[in-house]
Amino acid sequence: MSRRFGALALLAGLAAPAPGSAQAIQNATLRRAQQANDNLEYRQVLSLARAALRERLTGPERARAYELLGFTYGAMDSILKAVDAFKQVVLIDPERQLDPNRVSPKAYSAFDVALRQVLLVRQLRIDSTSFVGGQGTAPIRFMVTQPARVVTRVIGAEGSFLIDSGAWNGQVNLLWPARLPNGDPVPAGSYTLVVEARLGQNASSASQPIRLSHGNVDTVPHLTSLPGYQYLPETEVPPQSWRPLGLAFLYTGGALIGTVGLESSSLGAGSKREIAVVGGAALVTGFVMTLRRPAPRPAAANILYNRLLRDQIVRRNQEIAKENVVRRQQVQLTLAPLPKPAAGGPR
């Protein structure tokens, strides 16, 4: 029995964290507990670790203290207590992972049971990737320790964009095209990838800062003219003609003929000075207008041509606008995870 106990203790010792993390321990009581664990003095480990937890510890120290308790309870076959201790470990540090090759099966199974008894989102990963918008995706991986409603989104200064919402359990692999519902790419900028899991009153979340950048887009400029086609003047000056004088003659002649024709024979020939005044003015005006440069008049053919040209340019610009929309949607997207901000001080 004592030999088996010793072997388990050895395994528990192997499961101890790397020397680097042990060196990070500042609390003296916890250091002594670590040393007791190294020396396989489990009763002392229990008492010192419990004593350390009553003191002021940083988060990693507190997690380490619970971890020492978990390993020790596991070695002492107190599985339920080991599970409780490991639950505290993962609640403090959800990313904590045990190496099955270095940890005793009892401790590992207790850790595994502890993981399944709390709702956690852990091991959130997004790889650096680069792809053309609409033609590629960014893989997102994370683990949910219990069946839960999981909402995944990115939040940034440009807005909040939903990636996925669904019921998940265990390892989750998502593919994010980084596109908006209208097909446009998500605007470039710094975002935080947030995964929120909710199961009843329990909730857990994990986040990862990321940076999304866009490549250059070669859009086609809009046209103001069609090459080889020029607008034509919409008015033209007609050639000089005798038309104004002719029309003045026609109208004056009509009035004169009408006057002469309608004059009453019984009243004799009437006075012609009135029509002489007005008719003379009309003829002089007609003569002057004949000599004057004619006023520009609308050139119907040119107006029609210009309208067709404008319509053609508008149509071509509409095509260019559509083409540019597609080009902007097919921009090169580069996605890179950013380091997480440093953790807080002691808890």
Q: Which residues bind other proteins (CB under 8 A)?
A: 243-244, 247-248, 251-252, 254-255, 258-259, 262-264, 266-268, 270-271, 273-275, 277-279, 281-282, 285-286, 288-289, 292, 294-295
CB of 188 to other proteins, least distance (A): 53
Tokens 């419990």 sit on residue: 50
CB of 230 to other proteins, least distance (A): 28
Nearer to other proteins, 288 or 301 (CB): 288
Nearer to other proteins, 98 or 248 (CB): 248
Structure tokens at 342: 């440093």
How far, in Å, CA of 234 to CA of 299, rounded? 5
Nearer to other proteins, 247 or 303 (CB): 247
CB of 185 to other proteins, least distance (A): 52
CB of 300 to other proteins, least distance (A): 14
Tokens 């002469």 sit on residue: 260
How far, in Å, CA of 298 to CA of 115, rounded? 86
CB of 287 to other proteins, least distance (A): 10
Nearer to other proteins, 36 or 282 (CB): 282
> Cβ neighbours of residue 78 under 8 Å, at least 6 residues apart?
none
> What are 154's strand-pairing partners?
161, 193
The continuous run of DSSP H or E covering 335 comes out as strand 332-337
Spell out where 115-259 has E strands: 121-126, 129-132, 138-156, 159-176, 189-199, 202-214, 235-236
Nearer to other proteins, 10 or 260 (CB): 260
